[in-house]
Amino acid sequence: MADADDVRHLALALPHVVEIDSAGFDFRVAGKGFVWSYPERRPGAPRRIRTDIAVLYVGDEAEKQALLLGEPAVFFTTPAYDGLPLVMVRLTQVSVDRLKELVTDAWRMRAPDALVGDVDQASTP
């Protein structure tokens, strides 16, 4: 089971990540968001920042649908995110190892190619 501290630790371990000041967590690379707290909106209620749910960049609709259909206990979406390459992750339903993979993949899709290349070279034995 993962939590907001795990998200923060994993995101900040990646190169050139900036944490944006927010009520929860919000991480960017090269000015592009890749993982942040879910801003829950309910009719008639003020927006609530959920740090037990992360919004994650997934790249495209095919990947989004694969995650939603393959692991519905972990991933979900809302109509506000229709057409966007984003899913919500229930942190209490994901292991830290799986979260590391998800956060790293999101970072790779948002980081400039030069940064991704540097990370790939550094991780090659």
For residue 60, the model assigns a pLDDT of: 95
**Rounded-to-10 torsion of CA 60, 99, 33, 10:** -150
How many independent structural domains does the chain possess? 1
For residue 115, the model assigns a pLDDT of: 84
pTM of the model: 0.90
Note whether 25 and 17 are within 8 A (CB). no
**Domain CATH for 103:** 3.90.1150.30
Q: How confident is the model at residue 123 (pLDDT cuts 50, 70, 90)?
A: low
- In a domain, residue 120? The reply is no
- In a domain, residue 119? The reply is no
Domain housing 23: 4-40+48-113
Percentage, residues of the chain above pLDDT 70: 93
For residue 109, the model assigns a pLDDT of: 96
| Per-residue pLDDT reduced to its tens digit, 63-116 | 999 999 999 999 999 999 999 999 999 999 999 999 999 999 999 999 999 888
| Per-residue pLDDT reduced to its tens digit, 4-34 | 999 999 999 999 999 999 999 999 999 999 9
End-to-end CA distance of the chain: 30
- In a domain, residue 58? The reply is yes
The length of the chain is: 125
